[in-house]
Amino acid sequence: MENLKNIIIPANKETPYFPAVEFDYEKGECTLAGESYMEDCYKFYNPLIDWLNAYCEQKKSIVFNFKLYYFNTQSSRMILKIFETLMKFKENGGQVEINWYYYQSDPDMVEEVEDFQRESGLEVNLIEING
């Protein structure tokens, strides 16, 4: 089976509503960073979720880093889909590590992540950063 191509979308100051994306097949590590409030969430996230599904069929472990310091409620629906994909992977024997980085100045984010944990049944490492 051919390896998946990595997805790299760098941050762009002109379009801050799209997060930067780094989905690295060889490293087994995926990162979403920045903000997420684009007009069409499905169009942006569906290809990422398709990639993730294909990845989960081929590999045994994954590290997923969320470095999103703002996302709107429409994006949160897609983030939940990512969690559900990872949960399915775990149920099929995959090893999953999720790290969520949040700013000290955003205590509401902790509650939001706790709700993702509750909704998906997955553990998340909450990592506080200065700022």
Partner 1 sequence: MAWSINDSSVKLAYKGPFYIDVLSGMAGHLRQMYRLKPITCNRLYKIFFELTQNVAKYSAEMCNLYQHYKYGGIGSFTIEEKNNAIRISTTNMIRAEDASTLMRYCTEINTMSVEALREYRSLKRRPQPGPEDSGAYIGIIQIGIITKNKIEWDIVPLGERFALFTITAKVDIE
Name the residues that contact partner 1, by CB under 8 A.
16-17, 37-40, 70, 72-74, 76-77, 80, 103, 105-108, 111, 115, 118-119, 131
Q: CB 69 → partner 1: shortest distance, Å? A: 8
How far apart, in Å, are the Cα atoms of 121 and each of 54, 100, 102?
22, 15, 20
For the CB of residue 101, give the shortest distance to partner 1 in the complex, in Å: 14
Our CB check for partner 1 shows the closer of 5 and 118 to be 118
Query: Using N-to-C axis directions, what is the helix angle for 107-120 and 73-91, rounded to 10°?
Result: 40
Instruction: Give the pair of three-digit tokens for residue 73.
Output: 């409620």
Strand pairing of 20-24 and 29-36? antiparallel
Least distance from partner 1 to the Cβ atom of residue 45, Å: 14
* CB of residue 55 to partner 1, shortest distance in Å: 23
- Rounded distance between C-alpha atoms, residue 113 and residue 125, angstroms: 10
Q: What is the CA radius of gyration of the chain?
A: 14
Nearer to partner 1, 29 or 84 (CB): 84
* CA within 13 Å, CB half, 92: 13
Residue 17 or 25 having the CB closest to partner 1? 17
Residue 53 or 105: the one with the smaller Cβ distance to partner 1 is 105
